[in-house]
Amino acid sequence: MKGARRSHGPLDYSRRLWVRITLWLSFAFLYAPIAILVIYSFNDSRRNIVWRGFTLKYYERAWNNDSLIQAFANSLTIAFFSTLFSVLLGMLTAVLLWRFRFPAKAPFEGTVSLPIIIPEICMGVAMMAFFTRIGWPVDLPWPLNLGAITIAHISFSFPFVAMVVRARLARFNREFEEAARDLGASEWQAFRDVLLPYMKPGLIAGALLAFTLSLDDFVITFFTAGPETVTFPVKVYSMVRFSVTPEVNAASTVLLLITLVLTTTAILLQNRSGRD
C-alpha cells in the first residue's frame, strides 16, 4: 500500500486499485447480461450456450413472427401518440408552473409529480379498474383499440416532460419575453417567437424521454392491455414465461438498439441545452 500511495495523491481515489476493481466489476455486472443476450441472438444454436457460428436466422424468424411484429407496431404507435400528447401537456404544465402564481399551486405541483412517485403496480391496477369500470370499448378497430394504453402512458409520461422542460425554463431570461411584448408582440407571438424556440431543446429531450418511457413500459401496460392490444414488452413477457428463445434475444436486441439511439440523443441534447 505504501508503494502504491507514492504514485498517486491522497485524493486520487479513482486510481486506487480496489476502487477500480469495484468500478469494472460493477460495469461487468451491468453490461455482461445484456452483452451475452446480444451475442447469443447471433448464435447458430437453439439451446446450447456454446458458440456455433454467426447467423441472422433468429432475426428472420422474429421478423416472420406476425404476432411479434404486430406487438412491435402497437408499441411504436402507442409511443408516437403518447409522445405527442405528453409533450403538449408537459410543456403547458412547465410554463404554467414557471410563469404563474395561483391558488392551490403547491397541491397542483404535488399532484403532477405523483405519477412519477407512486409505485407502478398501483398505477397499473388503478388504470385497469378505471377502464373496466367506465366500460371503455374493447372492440374498436386498430389503432383506436390502443386508446386505453395510450392514455395510461400519457398520464405517467407528461410529468417527466414537464420536469425536463421546467429545468430548461428555469434558466430563461424573462426580459427577452418582456422586450418582445414591449415592442408590440401579442401574447401568442411572444410565446411562439421567443419562448417556444428557447424551450425547443427541452421539448426534444422531453419527447425522446416520453417515447422511451412508453416503449419500455411493462407494468402499467400489462394491466391495461387486452388480448388484442399486446405491446412488445407484454409479448416478450409471455414469450419469456414460456421459455428463453433466440427469437426473443433477436427482438430484444432490436429494441435495445432503438432505445440506445434515442437515449443517447436525449442525453447529448440535454447536455448541450445545459451549456448555453
CA distance 213 to 231: 13
Q: Which of residues 167-186 bind another protein (CB under 8 A)?
A: none
Give SS3 for 139: coil
The interface region with another protein, picked from 61-69, 87-95, 137-145, 195-203 by CB under 8 A, is 87-95
* β-bridge partners, 54: 43
Residues with Cβ < 8 Å from 119, sequence gap 6 or more? none
Q: Does 17 engage in binding with another protein (CB under 8 A)?
A: no
For residue 258, the minimal CB distance to another protein (Å) is: 10
SS3 54: strand
**Distance, CA of 124 to CA of 82 (rounded, Å):** 16
The least CB distance from residue 139 to another protein, in Å, is 18
Helices 66-99, 105-117: axis angle to 10 degrees equals 160
Q: Taking Cα atoms as reference points, which of 259, 264, 256 lies closest to residue 36?
A: 256
Q: Does 115 bind another protein (CB under 8 A)?
A: yes
Q: Which of 28, 33, 51, 171 binds another protein (CB under 8 A)?
A: 33
Q: Which stretch binds another protein (CB under 8 A): 31-39, 58-66, 163-171, 199-207?
A: 31-39
99 binds another protein (CB under 8 A): yes
CA geometry: angle 237, 32, 220, nearest 5 deg: 25
* Number of residues near another protein (by CB under 8 A): 86
Site for another protein in 60-79 (CB under 8 A): none
Cα distance between residue 253 and residue 259, in whole Å: 10
The distance of closest approach from Cβ of residue 125 to another protein in the complex, given in angstroms and rounded to an integer, is 5
- State in angstroms the smallest separation of the CB of 179 from another protein: 16
Q: Which of 69, 84, 92, 140 binds another protein (CB under 8 A)?
A: 92
Where in 202-261 is the site for another protein (CB under 8 A)? Answer: 212, 215-216, 218-219, 223, 233, 236-237, 240-241, 244, 248-249, 252, 255-256, 259-260
Tell the smallest beta-carbon distance from residue 262 to another protein (Å): 8
* Interaction residues for another protein, span 133-162 (CB under 8 A): 133, 151-152, 154-155, 158, 162
Q: Return the DSSP state at 184.
A: T
Smallest distance, another protein to C-beta of residue 186, A: 11
28 in Cβ contact with 36 (< 8 Å)? no
Which neighbouring-strand residues pair with 43? Answer: 54
Sole binder of another protein in the list 69, 73, 96, 204 (CB under 8 A): 96
- The one-letter amino acid code at 275 reads R
Residue of 88, 140, 167, 185 interacting with another protein (CB under 8 A): 88
Least distance (Å) between residue 64 CB and another protein: 21
Which three-class secondary structure state does DSSP give residue 136? coil
Alpha carbons 164 and 204: distance in angstroms, whole number: 10
